[in-house]
Amino acid sequence: MPITKPYQDIPGTTIFDADQARKGYWLNQFCMSLMKAENRERFKADERAYLDEWAMTAAQKEAVLARDLNQCIRLGGNIYFLAKIGATDGRSYQQMAAGMTGMSETDYRDMMLAGGRRPDGTPRHAAVAPEVAADASAATRGDTRQDTRQDTRQESRQESRQESPQDTKGTPR
């Protein structure tokens, strides 16, 4: 009797379940091997030869060589393991995720700071995007000036906390 997986119909999403874990076992083990400097050096020296040491499918090896992380996920890769490939290449998680969405890193960052997007691709919180994006851009540039909007939001949150009576355990009375 097949197991029902109601989560399989989430658009654009691959859930890392037991079947995916089995399918991607050797791909994920390869990724974990990149935690050792000597393995990263061997991989970068001859990627194909290093991959051929692993019991991965041909499709998994090709996806790694192409740095097609979306395909790696479809083939059983877990994003947290796949991040080791990005780190080996000197890429941040944000850069990897931007590449997976087909967006520039800046556009991806701004989209995520604005609340991400729905499965249909529309923004979640477009109304707050400019303010959040401005704060993020300043932080990314290393702007050390105090943002008055940030201060105002923090003060507002503190005031609302003070207005909420709570007992000593942090639960409302």
Q: CA-CA distance, 34 to 89, in Å (whole number)? A: 11
Helices (H) and strands (E) in the chain, counts: 11, 0
Considering only CA atoms, which of 109, 101, 107, 68 is closest in space to residue 85? 68
pLDDT value, residue 167: 46
Does residue 141 carry a pLDDT above 70?
no
Ordered structural domains, the chain, with CATH:
12-90 (1.10.700.10), 92-141 (no CATH)
| Residue 166: φ, ψ to 5° | -140, 150
CB 59 within 8 A of CB 109: no
Does residue 77 carry a pLDDT above 90?
yes
The residues near 47 (Cβ < 8 Å, ≥ 6 apart) are 64, 65
pLDDT value, residue 147: 46
User: Which whole-number Å values give the CA distances from 119 to 33, 66, 163, in the listed order?
Assistant: 33, 25, 37
Q: What is the pLDDT of residues 33-70, one digit of tens each?
A: 999 999 999 999 999 999 999 999 999 999 999 999 99
Under the banding of pLDDT at 50, 70 and 90, the label for residue 7 is confident
pLDDT value, residue 15: 86
